[in-house]
Amino acid sequence: GENVEQHPSTLSVQEGDSAVIKCTYSDSASNYFPWYKQELGKRPQLIIDIRSNVGEKKDQRIAVTLNKTAKHFSLHITETQPEDSAVYFCAASMREVTGGGNKLTFGTGTQLKVEL
């Protein structure tokens, strides 16, 4: 099955700096890579996702890059703010065209702390 590794497990940055979280996956058939943000005691919420036919996607201060050859993808947060403090999870899925479902394999999470 799919295996997703995520680094670092904790990340502390100064407000305004950039943060980068990296993930690798094992199954070359995976084609969908979402990133979730989870605040303490809350549910995971999707912040950005990328599909295997795209190398990079950006949404305001958040961007994700995908390298299919190396089987890794990264989350980039620029101009970090205190409200970015949370746990971030990467995930991978072999999303099929029809049927099959959407089984996500998650990384173990990164605790991001943005310090004033």
Partner 1 sequence: NAGVTQTPKFQVLKTGQSMTLQCAQDMNHEYMSWYRQDPGMGLRLIHYSVGAGITDQGEVPNGYNVSRSTTEDFPLRLLSAAPSQTSVYFCASSAAGLAGSGYEQFFGPGTRLTVL
Binding site for partner 1 (CB under 8 A): 1, 6, 9, 32, 34, 42-46, 49, 51, 89, 93, 95, 97-109
Given the complex with partner 1, which of 77 and 87 has the nearer CB atom? 87
Nearer residue to partner 1 within complex by CB, 33 or 85: 33
Question: Considering the complex, what minimum distance in angstroms separates the CB of residue 30 from partner 1?
Answer: 12
Place of tokens 């670092």: 8
Considering beta carbons, is residue 71 or 106 the nearer one to partner 1?
106
Contacts of 15 (CB under 8 A, 6+ apart): 80, 81, 82, 114, 115, 116
Tell the smallest beta-carbon distance from residue 32 to partner 1 (Å): 5
Tracing tokens 């990079």 back to the chain, one arrives at: 56
CB of 66 to partner 1, least distance (A): 15
Q: Which is nearer to partner 1, 18 or 96 (CB)?
A: 96
How far is C-alpha 45 from the geometric centre of its chain's CA atoms? 11
Residues 12/116, Cβ–Cβ less than 8 Å: no
Least CB distance to partner 1 at residue 16 (A): 29
90, 73 Cβ separation under 8 angstroms: yes
CA pair distance 14, 19, nearest whole angstrom: 9
